[in-house]
Copies of this chain bind each other. A is one copy, B any other.
Amino acid sequence: MGRTSDADIRLMDAALDLIWEESYGAVSVDDICTRAGVKKGSFYHFFKTKADLAVAALERMWLTETKPQLDHDFSPSLNPLQRLAGNLERIYLYQIDVKKQHGKVLGCPVCSVGSEVSTQETDVGAKVCEIYSRKLRYYESMIRDAIAEGSIPPCDAHEKASALAGLIEGLTTQSRIMNDPEVLKNLPATALGFLGASPESVQTTLSR
């Protein structure tokens, strides 16, 4: 019963877009409301604070975008190294497209927001941490499969996954700072090499 609305969804989408394009701190509640076409009273009907909205928006992004994409890219139907190579190639092409659309490389919103607010907005920080950890599981499982398959030397999969995430997020951040997607061009090959894949298997994996 009662009136129906998609204002909360419009607010989440607007918030994520703006925060991605600018930054968490540079975006005001008014900015978000204007972009979403929602009045401030409605904002506070759905969310207690900007941080509250950010948490909801991040979780929504995970559910509607990140998770489906990762499920596709890291499907066990592919061989482990191809999963990673495909995912990283897609990230590279995506940032090229983002630069075309927005005029700027925008990188990864989860990472940017996390680094910005982790010491301040604890709820947002916790949500970022959660999403980051979920991503790590995809890497970890891929690494375990690659070891089992013999395509990379044995190692601590959890630790390697964390370092791999560092490499990926670090270069993505670098491409945002430098505003240059080409920083990511060799990421697939670099990442495979980092995992210890032989130069030949890197070659064959990337040529598919």
A80 within 8 A of B: no
Q: How many copies does the complex hold?
A: 2
Return the CB mask of A108-151 against B: 1 if under 8 Å, else 0.
00011011111110000100110010000000000000000000
A13 within 8 A of B: no
Given B104, B162, B176, B194, which contacts A174 in the complex, CB threshold below 8 Å? B162
**Known contacts A166-B170, A183-B162, A114 near B177 by CB under 8 Å:** yes
A82 within 8 A of B: no
A89 within 8 A of B: no
Are A120 and B22 neighbours in the complex by a CB distance under 8 Å? yes
**Known contacts A23-B25, A115-B115, A120-B22, A190 near B163 by CB under 8 Å:** yes
- Dominant secondary structure at the A interface: helix
A23–chain B nearest beta-carbon distance, Å: 5
A78 within 8 A of B: no
In the docked arrangement, what's the CA distance between A128 and B176, Å? 12
Are B119 and A111 neighbours in the complex by a CB distance under 8 Å? no
A178 within 8 A of B: yes
* Chain B residues within 8 Å of A128, by CB: 177
By Cβ-Cβ distance, the 8 closest A-B pairs, closest first, are A25-B25, A170-B170, A166-B170, A166-B171, A114-B177, A167-B167, A23-B116, A169-B170
Binding site for B on A (CB under 8 A): 21-26, 104, 106-107, 111-112, 114-120, 125, 128-129, 132, 159, 162-163, 165-171, 173-174, 176-179, 183, 186-187, 190, 193-194, 196
